[in-house]
A and B are shown apart, each in its own frame.
Chain A
Amino acid sequence: MTIAADATSPTANRPGSVVCEGNEAAAIGVGLARPDVVAVYPITPQSSLVEHLSQMIADGRLKASLMNVEGEHAVLCGLQGVALAGGRTFTATCGPGIAFMFEPYVRTPGLRLPMVAALVTRDLLSPQCVWGGQQDAMVVREAGWIQMYCETVQEILDTTVMAYKIAEHRDVMLPVNVCHDGNYLSFGVTRVELPEQEAVDEFLGPPATNWHIALDPLRPMGVDPLTGGAGGVGPRSFVRYRKGQCRGMQNALRVIREVHAAWGELSGRYHAPLVEEYRLDDADYALVTIGSMTGAAKDAVDLARDSGEAVGLIKIKTLRPFPLQAMACALAKVNRIGVVDRSVSFGWNCGPVYQETLGALYHCGKSIPALSFIGGLAGADITVEHFARAIALTCEAQFSRAPREPVWLNEND
Protein backbone atom coordinates (compact mmCIF):
# COMPACT_ATOMS: atom_id res chain seq x y z
CA MET A 1 0.00 0.00 0.00
CA THR A 2 1.41 3.40 -0.98
CA ILE A 3 0.33 6.78 0.30
CA ALA A 4 0.38 9.80 -2.02
CA ALA A 5 2.97 12.27 -0.72
CA ASP A 6 1.23 15.53 -1.68
CA ALA A 7 -1.18 16.34 1.15
CA THR A 8 -3.15 18.73 -1.04
CA SER A 9 -3.89 16.31 -3.85
CA PRO A 10 -7.22 14.53 -4.37
CA THR A 11 -5.48 11.22 -3.74
CA ALA A 12 -3.68 12.46 -0.60
CA ASN A 13 -3.76 10.07 2.34
CA ARG A 14 -5.41 7.44 0.22
CA PRO A 15 -3.93 4.08 -0.63
CA GLY A 16 -2.94 3.23 -4.20
CA SER A 17 -6.41 1.92 -4.78
CA VAL A 18 -9.88 2.64 -3.42
CA VAL A 19 -13.33 1.16 -3.70
CA CYS A 20 -15.67 3.80 -5.06
CA GLU A 21 -18.60 4.52 -7.35
CA GLY A 22 -18.22 5.79 -10.90
CA ASN A 23 -19.14 9.35 -10.02
CA GLU A 24 -16.42 9.44 -7.35
CA ALA A 25 -13.93 7.96 -9.82
CA ALA A 26 -14.80 10.79 -12.22
CA ALA A 27 -14.35 13.34 -9.42
CA ILE A 28 -10.93 11.87 -8.52
CA GLY A 29 -9.92 12.05 -12.19
CA VAL A 30 -10.99 15.68 -12.34
CA GLY A 31 -9.10 16.46 -9.14
CA LEU A 32 -5.93 14.91 -10.54
CA ALA A 33 -6.19 17.18 -13.59
CA ARG A 34 -6.25 20.21 -11.24
CA PRO A 35 -8.85 22.40 -12.98
CA ASP A 36 -8.87 26.10 -12.09
CA VAL A 37 -12.65 26.42 -12.02
CA VAL A 38 -15.42 23.89 -11.59
CA ALA A 39 -18.98 25.04 -12.31
CA VAL A 40 -21.81 22.65 -11.66
CA TYR A 41 -25.52 22.28 -11.25
CA PRO A 42 -26.63 18.99 -9.71
CA ILE A 43 -28.93 16.62 -11.57
CA THR A 44 -29.67 12.93 -11.16
CA PRO A 45 -27.70 10.70 -11.76
CA GLN A 46 -24.76 13.12 -11.84
CA SER A 47 -25.38 14.68 -8.39
CA SER A 48 -22.94 12.64 -6.33
CA LEU A 49 -20.15 13.60 -8.75
CA VAL A 50 -20.82 17.23 -7.83
CA GLU A 51 -20.92 16.32 -4.14
CA HIS A 52 -17.57 14.52 -4.29
CA LEU A 53 -15.98 17.49 -6.09
CA SER A 54 -17.47 19.98 -3.62
CA GLN A 55 -16.11 17.94 -0.71
CA MET A 56 -12.70 17.74 -2.33
CA ILE A 57 -12.61 21.52 -2.72
CA ALA A 58 -13.97 22.12 0.81
CA ASP A 59 -11.27 19.83 2.24
CA GLY A 60 -8.54 21.66 0.34
CA ARG A 61 -7.64 18.54 -1.64
CA LEU A 62 -8.48 20.40 -4.84
CA LYS A 63 -7.45 24.03 -5.18
CA ALA A 64 -10.17 25.10 -7.60
CA SER A 65 -12.87 27.73 -7.51
CA LEU A 66 -16.32 26.19 -7.30
CA MET A 67 -19.04 28.20 -9.04
CA ASN A 68 -22.52 27.36 -7.82
CA VAL A 69 -24.62 28.85 -10.58
CA GLU A 70 -28.33 29.07 -11.24
CA GLY A 71 -28.50 26.51 -14.02
CA GLU A 72 -26.65 24.58 -16.70
CA HIS A 73 -26.81 27.42 -19.23
CA ALA A 74 -24.91 29.67 -16.84
CA VAL A 75 -22.52 26.81 -16.01
CA LEU A 76 -21.19 26.63 -19.53
CA CYS A 77 -21.30 30.37 -20.23
CA GLY A 78 -19.21 30.93 -17.11
CA LEU A 79 -16.74 28.21 -18.04
CA GLN A 80 -16.33 29.63 -21.54
CA GLY A 81 -15.09 32.80 -19.88
CA VAL A 82 -12.70 30.78 -17.73
CA ALA A 83 -11.28 28.93 -20.72
CA LEU A 84 -10.95 32.18 -22.68
CA ALA A 85 -8.99 33.58 -19.74
CA GLY A 86 -6.64 30.59 -19.80
CA GLY A 87 -8.10 28.35 -17.09
CA ARG A 88 -8.72 24.61 -17.07
CA THR A 89 -12.39 23.82 -16.49
CA PHE A 90 -14.75 21.03 -15.56
CA THR A 91 -18.46 20.46 -15.43
CA ALA A 92 -20.83 17.50 -15.45
CA THR A 93 -24.43 17.14 -16.49
CA CYS A 94 -26.98 14.88 -18.16
CA GLY A 95 -30.52 14.58 -19.52
CA PRO A 96 -32.59 17.75 -19.03
CA GLY A 97 -29.43 19.48 -17.79
CA ILE A 98 -27.74 19.22 -21.16
CA ALA A 99 -30.98 20.27 -22.81
CA PHE A 100 -30.86 23.50 -20.79
CA MET A 101 -27.12 23.85 -21.54
CA PHE A 102 -27.60 23.41 -25.28
CA GLU A 103 -27.10 27.00 -26.47
CA PRO A 104 -23.57 27.53 -25.06
CA TYR A 105 -22.93 23.78 -25.56
CA VAL A 106 -23.14 23.97 -29.36
CA ARG A 107 -21.03 27.11 -29.34
CA THR A 108 -18.10 25.62 -27.42
CA PRO A 109 -16.57 23.44 -30.17
CA GLY A 110 -16.77 26.30 -32.70
CA LEU A 111 -14.85 28.49 -30.25
CA ARG A 112 -12.35 25.60 -30.06
CA LEU A 113 -12.35 25.68 -26.26
CA PRO A 114 -10.73 22.52 -24.87
CA MET A 115 -13.17 21.84 -22.04
CA VAL A 116 -13.91 18.54 -20.34
CA ALA A 117 -17.44 17.69 -19.22
CA ALA A 118 -18.77 14.44 -17.83
CA LEU A 119 -22.03 13.27 -19.32
CA VAL A 120 -23.60 10.85 -16.86
CA THR A 121 -25.96 9.51 -19.48
CA ARG A 122 -29.65 9.47 -18.73
CA ASP A 123 -32.75 8.80 -20.77
CA LEU A 124 -34.65 11.84 -22.00
CA LEU A 125 -38.13 12.98 -21.08
CA SER A 126 -40.94 12.21 -21.62
CA PRO A 127 -42.12 9.85 -20.11
CA GLN A 128 -40.78 11.35 -16.89
CA CYS A 129 -37.68 9.40 -15.99
CA VAL A 130 -34.53 9.91 -13.91
CA TRP A 131 -32.74 6.69 -14.83
CA GLY A 132 -29.92 5.72 -17.15
CA GLY A 133 -30.00 5.53 -20.95
CA GLN A 134 -27.88 7.15 -23.64
CA GLN A 135 -30.53 9.26 -25.34
CA ASP A 136 -29.07 12.55 -24.04
CA ALA A 137 -25.61 11.82 -25.43
CA MET A 138 -27.00 10.56 -28.74
CA VAL A 139 -29.14 13.68 -29.21
CA VAL A 140 -26.04 15.92 -28.92
CA ARG A 141 -23.69 13.76 -30.97
CA GLU A 142 -23.69 16.28 -33.85
CA ALA A 143 -22.90 19.25 -31.61
CA GLY A 144 -19.17 18.94 -32.31
CA TRP A 145 -17.95 17.63 -28.95
CA ILE A 146 -15.71 14.60 -28.76
CA GLN A 147 -17.63 11.73 -27.13
CA MET A 148 -15.94 8.82 -25.36
CA TYR A 149 -18.09 6.17 -23.66
CA CYS A 150 -16.66 4.32 -20.66
CA GLU A 151 -17.18 0.65 -19.90
CA THR A 152 -15.90 0.46 -16.31
CA VAL A 153 -15.48 2.65 -13.23
CA GLN A 154 -11.70 2.52 -13.66
CA GLU A 155 -12.05 3.63 -17.26
CA ILE A 156 -14.02 6.71 -16.10
CA LEU A 157 -11.12 7.89 -13.94
CA ASP A 158 -8.52 7.16 -16.60
CA THR A 159 -10.55 8.66 -19.44
CA THR A 160 -11.32 11.82 -17.47
CA VAL A 161 -7.59 12.52 -17.04
CA MET A 162 -6.86 11.59 -20.66
CA ALA A 163 -9.70 13.83 -21.86
CA TYR A 164 -7.78 16.95 -20.80
CA LYS A 165 -4.72 15.90 -22.78
CA ILE A 166 -6.82 15.11 -25.84
CA ALA A 167 -8.87 18.32 -25.64
CA GLU A 168 -5.85 20.59 -25.12
CA HIS A 169 -3.73 18.97 -27.84
CA ARG A 170 -2.83 21.70 -30.33
CA ASP A 171 -4.02 19.61 -33.27
CA VAL A 172 -7.42 19.07 -31.60
CA MET A 173 -8.54 22.02 -29.42
CA LEU A 174 -12.07 20.70 -28.98
CA PRO A 175 -14.25 19.98 -25.94
CA VAL A 176 -14.63 16.40 -24.72
CA ASN A 177 -17.60 14.63 -23.19
CA VAL A 178 -16.59 11.69 -21.05
CA CYS A 179 -19.81 9.66 -21.06
CA HIS A 180 -20.61 7.09 -18.43
CA ASP A 181 -23.89 5.28 -17.95
CA GLY A 182 -26.20 6.70 -15.31
CA ASN A 183 -26.96 4.25 -12.50
CA TYR A 184 -24.84 1.33 -13.78
CA LEU A 185 -21.55 3.21 -13.77
CA SER A 186 -22.41 6.37 -11.82
CA PHE A 187 -23.42 4.35 -8.74
CA GLY A 188 -21.67 1.09 -9.57
CA VAL A 189 -18.96 0.47 -6.96
CA THR A 190 -15.69 -1.28 -7.80
CA ARG A 191 -12.02 -1.19 -6.86
CA VAL A 192 -10.17 1.60 -8.66
CA GLU A 193 -6.41 2.06 -9.02
CA LEU A 194 -5.28 5.64 -8.30
CA PRO A 195 -2.51 7.23 -10.34
CA GLU A 196 0.10 9.36 -8.57
CA GLN A 197 -0.52 13.11 -8.67
CA GLU A 198 3.05 13.81 -9.82
CA ALA A 199 2.67 11.41 -12.73
CA VAL A 200 -0.59 13.05 -13.83
CA ASP A 201 0.97 16.53 -13.50
CA GLU A 202 3.75 15.47 -15.80
CA PHE A 203 1.35 13.70 -18.17
CA LEU A 204 -0.93 16.71 -18.61
CA GLY A 205 1.42 19.66 -18.21
CA PRO A 206 0.05 23.14 -17.54
CA PRO A 207 -3.28 24.11 -19.13
CA ALA A 208 -3.16 25.63 -22.62
CA THR A 209 -6.69 26.78 -23.35
CA ASN A 210 -6.46 30.29 -24.79
CA TRP A 211 -3.40 30.66 -27.01
CA HIS A 212 -5.73 30.92 -30.01
CA ILE A 213 -8.75 32.83 -28.67
CA ALA A 214 -8.62 34.85 -25.48
CA LEU A 215 -9.94 37.46 -23.11
CA ASP A 216 -6.55 39.07 -22.57
CA PRO A 217 -5.79 42.81 -22.30
CA LEU A 218 -2.32 42.21 -23.76
CA ARG A 219 -3.82 40.58 -26.85
CA PRO A 220 -7.09 42.48 -27.38
CA MET A 221 -9.31 40.64 -29.86
CA GLY A 222 -12.90 40.28 -30.90
CA VAL A 223 -14.19 36.88 -29.79
CA ASP A 224 -16.64 35.29 -32.23
CA PRO A 225 -17.39 38.24 -34.56
CA LEU A 226 -20.29 37.97 -37.02
CA THR A 227 -19.16 35.65 -39.81
CA GLY A 228 -21.40 34.84 -42.77
CA GLY A 229 -23.78 36.36 -45.29
CA ALA A 230 -24.91 35.73 -48.83
CA GLY A 231 -21.48 35.64 -50.43
CA GLY A 232 -17.89 36.82 -50.35
CA VAL A 233 -15.56 36.95 -47.39
CA GLY A 234 -18.17 36.25 -44.66
CA PRO A 235 -19.40 32.79 -45.66
CA ARG A 236 -15.96 31.99 -47.06
CA SER A 237 -14.47 32.54 -43.59
CA PHE A 238 -17.27 30.45 -42.10
CA VAL A 239 -16.34 27.54 -44.38
CA ARG A 240 -12.71 27.91 -43.35
CA TYR A 241 -13.62 27.68 -39.66
CA ARG A 242 -15.98 24.73 -40.21
CA LYS A 243 -13.33 22.87 -42.21
CA GLY A 244 -10.83 23.56 -39.44
CA GLN A 245 -13.29 22.16 -36.90
CA CYS A 246 -13.73 18.99 -38.96
CA ARG A 247 -9.94 18.70 -39.28
CA GLY A 248 -9.63 18.99 -35.50
CA MET A 249 -12.11 16.13 -35.12
CA GLN A 250 -10.21 13.95 -37.58
CA ASN A 251 -6.91 14.80 -35.86
CA ALA A 252 -8.54 13.67 -32.63
CA LEU A 253 -8.73 10.09 -33.93
CA ARG A 254 -4.93 10.01 -33.99
CA VAL A 255 -4.49 11.96 -30.76
CA ILE A 256 -6.96 9.75 -28.85
CA ARG A 257 -4.90 6.68 -29.86
CA GLU A 258 -1.61 8.36 -28.90
CA VAL A 259 -2.91 9.55 -25.54
CA HIS A 260 -4.37 6.12 -24.68
CA ALA A 261 -1.02 4.53 -25.52
CA ALA A 262 0.85 7.06 -23.37
CA TRP A 263 -1.59 6.53 -20.50
CA GLY A 264 -1.08 2.77 -20.84
CA GLU A 265 2.66 3.22 -20.42
CA LEU A 266 2.13 5.45 -17.39
CA SER A 267 -0.54 3.40 -15.63
CA GLY A 268 -0.23 -0.08 -17.05
CA ARG A 269 -3.86 0.13 -18.14
CA TYR A 270 -4.34 0.03 -21.90
CA HIS A 271 -7.95 0.89 -22.73
CA ALA A 272 -9.06 0.50 -26.33
CA PRO A 273 -9.03 4.10 -27.60
CA LEU A 274 -11.54 3.95 -30.45
CA VAL A 275 -12.95 0.47 -30.98
CA GLU A 276 -12.33 -2.70 -28.97
CA GLU A 277 -12.41 -6.06 -30.71
CA TYR A 278 -13.32 -8.90 -28.37
CA ARG A 279 -12.92 -12.53 -29.55
CA LEU A 280 -13.36 -11.23 -33.07
CA ASP A 281 -10.49 -12.70 -35.11
CA ASP A 282 -12.09 -16.10 -35.65
CA ALA A 283 -15.67 -14.89 -35.31
CA ASP A 284 -18.33 -15.44 -37.92
CA TYR A 285 -20.66 -12.81 -36.52
CA ALA A 286 -20.57 -10.17 -33.80
CA LEU A 287 -22.45 -7.89 -31.48
CA VAL A 288 -21.71 -4.15 -31.51
CA THR A 289 -22.01 -2.47 -28.09
CA ILE A 290 -21.27 0.88 -26.43
CA GLY A 291 -20.76 1.79 -22.78
CA SER A 292 -21.23 -0.29 -19.65
CA MET A 293 -23.55 -2.85 -21.27
CA THR A 294 -20.39 -4.31 -22.81
CA GLY A 295 -19.52 -6.22 -19.62
CA ALA A 296 -22.66 -8.34 -19.73
CA ALA A 297 -22.33 -8.66 -23.50
CA LYS A 298 -18.80 -10.08 -23.15
CA ASP A 299 -20.09 -12.60 -20.61
CA ALA A 300 -22.80 -13.64 -23.06
CA VAL A 301 -20.22 -13.95 -25.85
CA ASP A 302 -18.05 -16.17 -23.58
CA LEU A 303 -21.05 -18.41 -22.81
CA ALA A 304 -21.95 -18.69 -26.49
CA ARG A 305 -18.33 -19.49 -27.33
CA ASP A 306 -18.43 -22.26 -24.72
CA SER A 307 -21.28 -23.82 -26.66
CA GLY A 308 -19.41 -23.56 -29.96
CA GLU A 309 -20.81 -20.34 -31.39
CA ALA A 310 -18.29 -18.31 -33.47
CA VAL A 311 -19.41 -14.98 -32.04
CA GLY A 312 -17.33 -11.93 -31.19
CA LEU A 313 -17.92 -8.39 -30.04
CA ILE A 314 -17.08 -4.90 -31.25
CA LYS A 315 -17.23 -2.18 -28.60
CA ILE A 316 -17.28 1.47 -29.59
CA LYS A 317 -15.49 3.69 -27.09
CA THR A 318 -15.15 6.81 -29.22
CA LEU A 319 -18.35 7.67 -31.07
CA ARG A 320 -17.36 11.26 -31.94
CA PRO A 321 -15.33 11.58 -34.02
CA PHE A 322 -16.65 8.35 -35.55
CA PRO A 323 -13.76 5.87 -35.80
CA LEU A 324 -14.54 4.91 -39.37
CA GLN A 325 -11.28 3.16 -40.16
CA ALA A 326 -11.17 1.12 -36.95
CA MET A 327 -14.83 0.22 -37.31
CA ALA A 328 -14.49 -0.79 -40.97
CA CYS A 329 -11.49 -2.91 -40.04
CA ALA A 330 -13.47 -4.73 -37.32
CA LEU A 331 -16.59 -5.16 -39.45
CA ALA A 332 -14.53 -6.64 -42.28
CA LYS A 333 -13.95 -9.70 -40.10
CA VAL A 334 -17.58 -10.79 -39.71
CA ASN A 335 -20.56 -11.78 -41.85
CA ARG A 336 -23.49 -10.81 -39.61
CA ILE A 337 -23.89 -8.15 -36.95
CA GLY A 338 -26.34 -7.24 -34.22
CA VAL A 339 -26.00 -3.71 -32.83
CA VAL A 340 -27.26 -3.08 -29.30
CA ASP A 341 -28.30 0.49 -28.57
CA ARG A 342 -29.33 2.10 -25.32
CA SER A 343 -31.24 4.86 -27.11
CA VAL A 344 -33.51 5.41 -30.07
CA SER A 345 -33.16 7.02 -33.49
CA PHE A 346 -36.70 8.27 -34.02
CA GLY A 347 -35.94 9.20 -37.61
CA TRP A 348 -34.67 5.79 -38.69
CA ASN A 349 -36.75 3.50 -36.45
CA CYS A 350 -33.63 1.84 -35.04
CA GLY A 351 -30.77 2.53 -32.64
CA PRO A 352 -28.37 5.39 -33.47
CA VAL A 353 -25.25 3.24 -33.19
CA TYR A 354 -26.92 0.75 -35.57
CA GLN A 355 -27.40 3.55 -38.09
CA GLU A 356 -23.76 4.61 -37.73
CA THR A 357 -22.61 1.02 -38.10
CA LEU A 358 -24.51 0.72 -41.39
CA GLY A 359 -22.61 3.83 -42.54
CA ALA A 360 -19.31 2.16 -41.68
CA LEU A 361 -20.35 -1.01 -43.55
CA TYR A 362 -20.67 1.02 -46.73
CA HIS A 363 -16.98 1.88 -46.40
CA CYS A 364 -16.06 -1.83 -46.17
CA GLY A 365 -18.06 -2.42 -49.34
CA LYS A 366 -20.18 -4.95 -47.46
CA SER A 367 -23.85 -5.74 -47.47
CA ILE A 368 -24.38 -8.18 -44.63
CA PRO A 369 -27.31 -9.07 -42.37
CA ALA A 370 -27.55 -6.42 -39.64
CA LEU A 371 -30.02 -6.27 -36.76
CA SER A 372 -30.85 -3.34 -34.46
CA PHE A 373 -31.48 -4.16 -30.80
CA ILE A 374 -32.72 -1.50 -28.40
CA GLY A 375 -32.45 -2.18 -24.69
CA GLY A 376 -31.69 -0.63 -21.34
CA LEU A 377 -34.01 2.34 -21.74
CA ALA A 378 -34.99 4.26 -18.59
CA GLY A 379 -32.60 2.31 -16.39
CA ALA A 380 -33.58 -1.19 -17.51
CA ASP A 381 -30.90 -3.85 -17.07
CA ILE A 382 -29.59 -5.51 -20.22
CA THR A 383 -28.77 -8.91 -18.78
CA VAL A 384 -26.65 -11.76 -20.08
CA GLU A 385 -29.95 -13.44 -21.06
CA HIS A 386 -30.93 -10.43 -23.19
CA PHE A 387 -27.57 -10.57 -24.93
CA ALA A 388 -27.90 -14.35 -25.42
CA ARG A 389 -31.16 -13.64 -27.26
CA ALA A 390 -29.46 -10.93 -29.35
CA ILE A 391 -26.65 -13.37 -30.20
CA ALA A 392 -29.14 -16.09 -31.24
CA LEU A 393 -31.13 -13.70 -33.45
CA THR A 394 -27.96 -12.27 -35.05
CA CYS A 395 -26.73 -15.81 -35.77
CA GLU A 396 -29.94 -16.54 -37.71
CA ALA A 397 -30.17 -13.13 -39.41
CA GLN A 398 -30.80 -13.14 -43.14
CA PHE A 399 -29.85 -10.34 -45.50
CA SER A 400 -32.64 -7.96 -46.43
CA ARG A 401 -32.71 -4.64 -48.23
CA ALA A 402 -36.09 -3.82 -46.72
CA PRO A 403 -36.05 -1.67 -43.57
CA ARG A 404 -36.32 -3.79 -40.43
CA GLU A 405 -38.08 -3.25 -37.15
CA PRO A 406 -35.71 -2.98 -34.20
CA VAL A 407 -35.83 -5.70 -31.55
CA TRP A 408 -36.86 -4.15 -28.20
CA LEU A 409 -34.94 -6.26 -25.70
CA ASN A 410 -36.83 -5.28 -22.54
CA GLU A 411 -40.27 -5.27 -24.15
CA ASN A 412 -41.44 -8.46 -22.47
CA ASP A 413 -39.49 -8.27 -19.19
Chain B
Amino acid sequence: MQRQSRDLFDASTIPNDLAPIATVLSGMLPGDWRSLRPLIDRLKCVKCGLCWLYCPVQCVIEKPRWFDFDLAVCKGCGVCAQECPHRAISMVEETGR
Protein backbone atom coordinates (compact mmCIF):
# COMPACT_ATOMS: atom_id res chain seq x y z
CA MET B 1 0.00 0.00 0.00
CA GLN B 2 1.24 3.47 -0.78
CA ARG B 3 1.97 5.87 2.11
CA GLN B 4 1.24 9.51 1.42
CA SER B 5 2.58 12.10 3.85
CA ARG B 6 3.95 15.65 3.76
CA ASP B 7 5.62 18.11 6.14
CA LEU B 8 3.15 20.63 7.55
CA PHE B 9 5.72 23.37 8.26
CA ASP B 10 9.41 23.70 9.01
CA ALA B 11 9.73 22.24 12.52
CA SER B 12 13.50 21.83 12.42
CA THR B 13 14.06 24.43 15.16
CA ILE B 14 11.94 22.55 17.71
CA PRO B 15 13.99 20.05 19.77
CA ASN B 16 12.83 16.51 19.05
CA ASP B 17 12.97 15.44 22.70
CA LEU B 18 10.69 18.16 24.13
CA ALA B 19 6.95 17.78 23.60
CA PRO B 20 5.34 14.95 21.63
CA ILE B 21 4.15 16.48 18.36
CA ALA B 22 3.52 15.27 14.83
CA THR B 23 4.53 17.71 12.10
CA VAL B 24 4.12 15.35 9.17
CA LEU B 25 0.61 14.98 7.78
CA SER B 26 -0.47 11.42 7.21
CA GLY B 27 -3.96 10.59 5.97
CA MET B 28 -4.07 7.64 8.39
CA LEU B 29 -6.45 6.01 5.90
CA PRO B 30 -8.05 2.76 7.08
CA GLY B 31 -6.59 0.96 4.05
CA ASP B 32 -3.25 0.91 5.91
CA TRP B 33 -4.41 -1.77 8.33
CA ARG B 34 -6.82 -3.90 6.26
CA SER B 35 -6.41 -7.68 6.44
CA LEU B 36 -9.18 -8.65 3.98
CA ARG B 37 -9.85 -7.00 0.62
CA PRO B 38 -13.25 -6.95 -1.18
CA LEU B 39 -13.18 -8.41 -4.66
CA ILE B 40 -16.06 -7.64 -7.03
CA ASP B 41 -17.42 -9.99 -9.66
CA ARG B 42 -18.40 -7.48 -12.37
CA LEU B 43 -20.69 -9.96 -14.13
CA LYS B 44 -22.79 -10.46 -11.00
CA CYS B 45 -23.01 -6.77 -9.97
CA VAL B 46 -26.39 -5.20 -10.90
CA LYS B 47 -25.58 -1.76 -9.39
CA CYS B 48 -28.33 -2.03 -6.79
CA GLY B 49 -26.27 0.25 -4.52
CA LEU B 50 -26.69 -1.69 -1.28
CA CYS B 51 -22.90 -1.89 -0.75
CA TRP B 52 -22.72 1.87 -1.30
CA LEU B 53 -25.41 2.39 1.35
CA TYR B 54 -23.93 0.04 3.92
CA CYS B 55 -20.21 0.82 3.62
CA PRO B 56 -19.23 2.44 6.98
CA VAL B 57 -16.26 4.33 5.48
CA GLN B 58 -17.93 5.37 2.22
CA CYS B 59 -15.27 3.76 0.05
CA VAL B 60 -17.61 2.42 -2.65
CA ILE B 61 -16.97 4.06 -6.03
CA GLU B 62 -19.37 4.10 -8.93
CA LYS B 63 -18.11 2.77 -12.27
CA PRO B 64 -20.13 2.78 -15.54
CA ARG B 65 -21.44 -0.78 -15.13
CA TRP B 66 -20.50 -1.88 -11.60
CA PHE B 67 -19.43 -0.62 -8.19
CA ASP B 68 -15.82 -0.80 -7.03
CA PHE B 69 -13.85 0.12 -3.90
CA ASP B 70 -11.25 2.76 -3.00
CA LEU B 71 -8.67 0.49 -1.43
CA ALA B 72 -6.84 3.37 0.23
CA VAL B 73 -9.94 3.88 2.37
CA CYS B 74 -11.51 0.40 2.62
CA LYS B 75 -10.78 -1.16 6.02
CA GLY B 76 -11.84 -4.63 4.97
CA CYS B 77 -14.78 -5.04 7.34
CA GLY B 78 -16.77 -7.17 4.87
CA VAL B 79 -20.15 -5.54 5.47
CA CYS B 80 -20.58 -5.09 1.69
CA ALA B 81 -19.93 -8.77 1.00
CA GLN B 82 -22.38 -9.77 3.74
CA GLU B 83 -25.13 -7.46 2.44
CA CYS B 84 -24.74 -7.93 -1.35
CA PRO B 85 -27.95 -9.73 -2.48
CA HIS B 86 -26.23 -11.15 -5.58
CA ARG B 87 -23.13 -12.48 -3.78
CA ALA B 88 -21.04 -10.38 -6.17
CA ILE B 89 -18.47 -9.46 -3.49
CA SER B 90 -16.01 -11.84 -1.88
CA MET B 91 -13.38 -11.07 0.78
CA VAL B 92 -9.85 -12.24 0.01
CA GLU B 93 -6.80 -12.14 2.22
CA GLU B 94 -4.61 -9.04 1.90
CA THR B 95 -1.10 -10.20 1.10
CA GLY B 96 0.27 -7.20 -0.71
CA ARG B 97 2.78 -5.82 1.84
Contacts and interface: CB of A to CB of B under 8 A. Distances in A.
Interface of A: 110-113, 173, 211-213, 218-225, 227, 237, 240-241, 243-244, 247
Interface of B: 8-9, 11, 14-23, 25
Contact of A212 (B8, B14, B25): B14
B17 A247 contact: yes
> Binding site of A, secondary structure by majority: helix, strand, loop or mixed?
loop
A63 to B, nearest CB: 28
Nearest to B10: A219
Contact of B21 (A113, A218, A225, A243): A225
A213 B21 CA distance: 7
Q: Which 4 A-B pairs have the closest CB atoms?
A: A244-B17, A222-B22, A213-B19, A112-B19
A221 B8 contact: yes
Contacts of A241: 17-20
Contacts of A213: 18-21
Nearest to B23: A221
A219 B25 CA distance: 12
A218 B8 CA distance: 9
A220 B17 CA distance: 19
Contacts of B14: 211-212
Nearest to B22: A222
Contacts of B9: 218-221
Given A110-B20, A113-B19, A221-B8, 11 more contacts: A111-B19, A213-B21, A218-B9, A219-B11, A220-B8, A221-B11, A222-B21, A222-B23, A224-B19, A224-B21, A240-B16
Contacts of A219: 8-9, 11
Given A219-B9, A220-B8, A243 B19 contact: no
A225 B8 CA distance: 15
A217 B17 CA distance: 23
A224 B8 contact: no
Contacts of A111: 19-20
B24 to A, nearest CB: 9
A292 B8 CA distance: 50
